[in-house]
Amino acid sequence: MEALGVWNYWVVVLLMMIGLYTVIARDHLVKKLIGLGVFQVSVIMFYVSMGKVTGGTAPIIPDEVPAEGILYSNPLPHVLMLTAIVVGVATLAVGLALVVRIREAYGTAEEDELQRMNGAQS
Amino acid sequence: MSEHLSALIVVLPLLAAPVCLLLRHTAMVRAWTSIVAWACMIMAWTLLERVQTGGAISYSMGGWDPPLGIEYRLDALNAYLLVIVTTIAAVVFPSGTILTGTALPEGKRHLYFAALLLCLAGLLGISSTGDLFNVFVFVEITSLSSYTLISLGKDRRALTAAFSYLVMGTIGGTFLLLGIGFLYQVTGTLNMQDLALRLPELLESRTVLAGFAFLMVGGCIKLAVFPLHQWLPNAYTQAPPAVSAFIAATATKVSYYLLARVIFTIFGAAFVFDALHLHWLMLPMALAAMFAGSFAAVFQTDLKRLLAYSSIAQIGYMVLGLSMASEAGLTGGIVHLFNHALMKGGLFLAVASVVMRTGSSSVNAISGLGRKMPITMAALVVGGLSLIGVPGTAGFVSKWYLVVGALEHGWYSVAVLILLSSLIAVVYVWRLVEIAFFGEATHDVCEVPWNSWLPTWILIGGTLVFGLWTDVTVGGASSAARALLGGTP
């Protein structure tokens, strides 16, 4: 049962495998990007659950009550993930822009057809 | 002002990129990009000189001291790398062939230069930061701008090449992030120096091992080490040739630096090589890359693809130096970073000149060009000789140190294999020479203008100069190797 106690990490592993499998197994480029997104989100979840301290509260120092003795969660991994989310969004944007251009140039966004057309060209 | 140099060298190109959008006019943006690259190069040489005389420079970003704040730390290795990256940028950016083979209409070209500057900023950032999360951010800045740059190639296949690079690069980058997360979870710090202090007592932990594995795999994907190299040939082939010149000469070098930093500074050679025996994994990979890359290069019909496969082989030599983990081996690997940057940058620029005149980068396009474009073709030959490692060229110097390193270890068969794989390079280089000088001329073209052949020859001339005069390159590399192995730089 001890292994189930860290269920949040199991969620991370599950999401990561789903994402990676989607990237490898799906032919449509947009689906690949979705898989990539899930893959990145799993790492973000990993950092977020890493920073959570059991029983800890949001790391804001209160004005009135004495600030000693309050248990805070670690804010640093959460802040890092703001950057990682931005990176993920930027990657998704570039990826989708590329898919649009690929669709314009080839008339399809299925990987096997693209490979066939590239093979015929070279 | 001058104490802020190690931050300025990253901030300048980062801030200069949006300025491109304001200038808009292609000629002005071109001049601006070149000026920025030159300024960065001057800063890098100043920093190298300062590091070599005064030791490592630590800079606290925003005045927050490490390990809490982000530290920019320059030692003999980073400063050497900054010099490589900025020198290549300073030569490639002003080149007359910079726009050759791009699919951009007039009026959109300023965006291309903005992407180039962002890529430069990312590469310099990876090289100079001392904070692991910062590394990840700069890796992504570099990768995102190189996806866009690669997708700008004329052929529509550039788009699919950029897309598969995007998928591979994102997986690699996310692996890095995951590895960094594992290390942070155990140590509670992101600063490299601090990690190096805290890790030795935690090396038994499985979390640390997992983190190390993720960092290694992520770094190897970015470096395109042999079994993980699939994205590289397509990306280099389809990108505009000047972009290939810039990325081939800098991006893989920076990834190599990242691996070396993780192995030697953060985990320490004792753990990686004595406890994990990583060299028994890296050595076969390096040897396989040397042979598979060179063999594949022999059969290519496209100049850029040929050079890309030769790059995979050359990356093999560098990883070989890494796996030796001795001063001679590392010196060979690091000096090969510099030498390979010069020759591959020069060769890709020569191909850019060919594309400029003939409109094609196929091997047949250079048929008979030895008489029509003698300056460019001579550069191609000298660069090729340097790839083989002919004495008197820079390639010889790095291979010499690698062979010395192999012999020091008693790996006699490895030394023989280094020489054998160089012989395969003779085959593909000779094929180019034969086609260029003895083939029938199919294109009626003239030599490219001076602003196109001069950058090529600055880099190719560099391989000749640094093949004979090795004070700066080998001196810098060996002090970097000593710094990595923990001695006094």
Token pair 């314009």: residue = A104
Least confident range from A67-71, B11-15, B127-131, B202-206: namely A67-71
User: What is the nearest CA distance from B109 to chain A, expressed in angstroms?
Assistant: 17
- Is residue B426 within 8 A of residue B295, CB to CB? The reply is no
Checking if the pLDDT of A97 tops 90, the result is: yes
In a domain, B98, yes or no: no
**CB of B99 within 8 A of CB of B109?**
yes
Within 8 A of B173 by CB-CB distance, chain A residues are: 87
Identify which of B133, B101, B107, B141 has the alpha carbon closest to the alpha carbon of residue B17. B141
Residues B69-73, mean pLDDT to the nearest whole number: 87
Q: Which of A3-7, B147-151, B196-200 has the highest mean pLDDT?
A: B147-151
Contacts of A100 in chain B (CB under 8 A): none
DSSP codes, B168-186 = HHHHHHHHHHHHHHHHHHH
pLDDT > 90: what percent of chain B? 26
Compare all CA atoms of chain B with the CA of A87 and give the residue at the minimum distance.
B140
Q: What is the pLDDT of residue B218?
A: 92
pLDDT in tens, B163-186: 999 999 999 999 999 999 999 988
Per the CB < 8 A criterion, the answer to whether A22 and A35 are in contact is: yes
3-class DSSP state of B60: strand
Confidence of residue B470 (pLDDT cuts 50, 70, 90): confident
CB B218 within 8 A of CB B173: yes
Pair B366, B381: CB distance under 8 Å: no
pLDDT beyond 90 at A50: no
Using only C-alpha atoms, chain B has a radius of gyration, in whole angstroms, of: 21
Q: Which residue has the tokens 């970073």?
A: B337
DSSP B104: P
Contacts of A20 in chain B (CB under 8 A): 171
Identify whether B486 is part of a domain: yes
Share of chain A above pLDDT 70, in %: 92
Indicate whether B421 belongs to any domain: yes
Residue B442 belongs to domain spanning: 277-489
Spatial contact of B396 and B390, defined as CB atoms under 8 Å apart? yes
Mean pLDDT, all residues of chain B: 87
Beta-strand (E) ranges in B78-187?
Answer: none
Q: Would B445 be classed as within a structural domain? A: yes
- Contact, B229 vs B289, CB < 8 A? yes
Q: Specify the number of domains making up chain B.
A: 1
Is residue B235 in some structural domain? no
d(CA B439, CA B477): 41
Please check whether residue B418 lies inside any domain of the structure: yes
Provide the pLDDT for residue B100: 81
- Interchain contact B150–A (C-beta under 8 A): no
Contact flag A94-B166 (C-beta cutoff 8 Å): yes
Average pLDDT over residues B432-456: 82
Q: How confident is the model at residue B487 (pLDDT cuts 50, 70, 90)?
A: low
Is the pLDDT score of B227 beyond 70? yes
For position A122, what pLDDT does the model report?
Answer: 54
Chain A nearest-CA residue for B165: A95
pTM given for the model: 0.92
Name the most confidently modeled range: A41-55, B167-181, B378-392.
B167-181
The DSSP output letter for A63 is S
Q: Which sign, positive or negative, has the C-alpha torsion B182, B187, B191, B195? A: negative
Q: Which residue has the higher pLDDT, B98 or A66?
A: B98
| CA dist., res. A108 & res. B24, Å (int) | 33
Q: Is the four-CA dihedral B90, B93, B96, B98 of positive or negative sign?
A: positive
Question: Which pLDDT band holds residue B489 (cuts at 50, 70, 90)?
Answer: very low
The radius of gyration computed from the CA coordinates of chain A, to the nearest angstrom, equals 21
Which chain A residues touch B if contact means CB-CB below 8 Å? Answer: 20, 23, 29, 32, 36, 39-40, 43, 46-47, 50, 77, 80, 83-84, 87, 90-91, 94-95, 98-99, 101-102, 105-106, 114, 118, 121-122
Range list of β-strands (E), A1-122: none
Q: State residue A107's pLDDT score.
A: 87
CB of B398 within 8 Å of a chain A CB? The answer is no
Condensed to tens digits (0 to 9), the pLDDT of residues B20-39 reads 888 888 888 889 999 999 99
% of chain B beyond a pLDDT of 70: 99
pLDDT tens, position by position, A9-32: 889 999 999 999 999 998 899 999
Q: Give the confidence band of B488 by pLDDT, cuts at 50, 70, 90.
A: very low
List the single residue in B with minimal CA-CA distance to A13. Answer: B178
CA dist A94 and B144 (Å) reads: 7
Distance CA B258, CA B328 (A): 20
End-to-end CA distance of chain B: 26
Is residue A121 very low, low, confident or very high in pLDDT (cuts 50, 70, 90)? low
B314 three-class SS: helix
Would you state the pLDDT for residue A75? 86
Kind and range of the H or E run holding B400: helix B394-409
Q: What is the pLDDT of residue B121?
A: 93
Cβ–Cβ gap B174/A47 under 8 Å: no
- Kindly list the distances between the CA atom of residue B362 and the CA atoms of A109, B214, B351, B367, B461, in Å, as whole numbers in the listed order: 27, 38, 10, 10, 25
Tell me how many residue pairs between chain A and chain B have CB atoms under 8 A apart: 70
> Higher model confidence: residue B68 or residue B286?
B286
User: Which pLDDT value is given to residue B1?
Assistant: 62
Domains of chain A, first to last: 2-53+72-121 (1.10.287.3510)
Quick check: B144 and A95 CB within 8 A?
no
Per the model's pLDDT, the better-predicted residue between A55 and B13 turns out to be B13
Q: Who has greater pLDDT, B423 or B3? A: B423
In a domain? residue B7: no
Residue B208, both tokens: 């640390």
For residue B54, being part of any structural domain is answered with: no
Return d(Cα A111, Cα A121) in angstroms, integer.
15
